Amino acid sequence: MTDTPIIRIMDLTKAYGSKTAVDHLNLEIRRGEIFGLLGPNGAGKTTTILMLLGLTEPTHGMALIDGHDCTRQSMLVKRITGYMPDNIGFYSDMTGRENLRFMARLNGIPEHEINPLIDGLLEKVGMTHAADQKTETYSKGMRQRLGIADVLIKDPEVIIMDEPTTGLDPEGMREFLSLIKQLSVEDKKTILVSSHQLYQIQQICDRVGIFVDGNLIACGGIDELGSQIETEGHYTLEIETEPCDSRFLGFIEGLKGMTGITKNGNTFVINSSEDLREEITKYLITNEYKLLHLHQKGGDLDEIYRVYFKEAEKEGDDSDGKDGSRKRLFGRRGA
């Protein structure tokens, strides 16, 4: 990965009537990195991808891939960009090999190069054993791996994947994520992957952008975002004690900076604006409680997403329908 951006998105906006699907998006994706565009369904991720591919025109702003305008130079963009949709379409009455051969011919690959190319791609994605089976017999994981081979036919510089892990079983997920990481590390591909499955994507991304209601509300590495939410006063502490009684609960509720608490069995989940670990552990020792578990959350993507999503909702409510408050939030965290 280098610091040189290969994808540049500048003030990109897409409105459908009164509905703004993507709202003044600014983002740079570095050459060779895996970037996760994360958010719930309907957040604007797919609309952003369609604009990058030149399949829909922006209402405002522009996007460039390797210096090519995604709207005005869409054919040049398509030559260097591979796209893998969430539901890959193959000809079901053709084998995996036949599907790849068809795609190679569509991309103008010389006939004498096609078979060696296909053999190499099938081996890379672990599909040699099933290459001559009809794709209608493939599992979701097999289709996804064949989909990567399909994308790699034209040796793109950039690969865009829209919800690629949906429907995969745990083993298929592990194999697929490993393959994506390999494409970045070994083949130096730039990969943009959109997803709502936070934990899985966390394992492979160099950076992530959190997308809510068409707005990029946070962008950075997992560690960077985790540190930022603590700096801004968002702490979540899991603590399990014995006994787990009303006396301890009363102590927690009286702590300065405590903003919320939930109880699940013998475990308390404490939200606060300050780090309360030292104060709580001193209380437990002094009052002879047994500490079974203590974990300060914040560095995992689920917690990062929860905090930013909650803050975005709050900023939206505070704006009373105006853009000022939300723009300040997004302007501070957009990258």
What is the C-alpha to C-alpha distance for residues 10 and 267, in angstroms, rounded to an integer? 45
Output 47 or 170, whichever has higher pLDDT.
Answer: 47
Per-residue pLDDT band at 166 (split at 50, 70, 90):
confident
Which residues are CB-neighbours of 195 under 8 A, at least 6 positions away? Answer: 36, 37, 38, 163, 164, 165, 166, 201
User: What is the gyration radius of the CA atoms in the chain, in angstroms?
Assistant: 24
Three-class DSSP category at 325: helix
Single out the residue of 295, 290, 234, 231 nearest to residue 268, CA to CA: 295
Q: Are 215 and 309 in contact (CB under 8 A)?
A: no
Closest to 164 (Cα-Cα) out of 121, 200, 216: 200
Q: How confident is the model at residue 294 (pLDDT cuts 50, 70, 90)?
A: confident
**Single-letter code of the amino acid located at 185:** V
Give the Cβ contact number of residue 326 at 10 Å. 18
At 49 the pLDDT is 96
Q: Kindly report whether the peptide bond that precedes residue 243 is cis, defined as omega within 30 degrees of 0.
A: yes
Judge whether residue 80 has pLDDT over 90. yes
Return phi, psi of residue 20, to 5°. Answer: -100, 110
**CA 263 to CA 243: how far, in whole Å?**
13
Q: What confidence tens digit (pLDDT) does each residue in 212-249 have?
A: 889 998 888 877 776 665 555 567 888 999 888 889 98
Q: 95 pLDDT band (50/70/90 cuts)?
A: very high
Average pLDDT along the chain: 85
Q: Is the pLDDT of residue 108 over 50?
A: yes
Global confidence as pTM: 0.75
Number of CB atoms found within 10 A of residue 186's CB: 9
For the chain, the farthest-separated pair of C-alpha atoms sits apart, in whole angstroms, at 79
Residue 195's Cα: distance from chain center in Å? 5
Segments making up each domain of the chain, as ranges: 5-226, 235-297
Three-state DSSP state, 189: coil
Measured distance CA(229)–CA(226) in Å, rounded: 6
DSSP 212-235: ETTEEEEEE-HHHHHHHHHHTT-E
What are the pLDDT digits (tens) for 59-79?
A: 999 999 999 999 999 999 999
- How remote is the C-alpha of 165 from its chain's centroid? 11
CATH architecture of the region 235-297: 2-Layer Sandwich (3.30)
Residue showing tokens 């002094």:
286
pLDDT (mean) for 296-321: 58
Distance CA 331, CA 241 (A): 42
Which CATH number fits the domain 5-226, given the four candidates 1.10.10.10, 3.40.50.300, 3.40.50.10860, 2.40.170.20?
Answer: 3.40.50.300
Instruction: Report pLDDT for 226.
Output: 62
Q: Which of 59-63, 215-219, 262-266, 315-319 has the lowest mean pLDDT?
A: 315-319
Contact criterion met (CB below 8 Å) for 7 and 34? no
